[in-house]
Structure 1
Amino acid sequence: MRELDFELDRDHVELNQLLKLVGLCDSGGAGKAIVASGAVSVDGEPELRKTCKIHAGQVVRIEDVVIRVHAAP
Structure 2
Amino acid sequence: MQEIHFALKGDYIELNQLLKLAGLCDSGGAGKMLVASGAVKVDGQSESRKTCKIHGGQIVQVDDVRILVD
Deviations 1:13-72 (A, max 9, x none): 0000000001110000000000000000000000000000000000000000000000xx
Identity %: 67
Runs of 4+ in 1 over 4 A off after TM superposition: none
Structure number with the higher strand fraction is 1
Question: Match of 1:23?
Answer: 23
Quote the residue 1:62 is aligned against.
62
Counterparts of 1:29 and 1:53 in 2: how far apart (Å)? Answer: 16
**TM-score of the aligned structures, taking structure 1 as reference length:** 0.95
Match in the other structure for 1:40: 40
Q: CA RMSD in A?
A: 0.3
Tell me the TM-score normalised to structure 2 length: 0.99
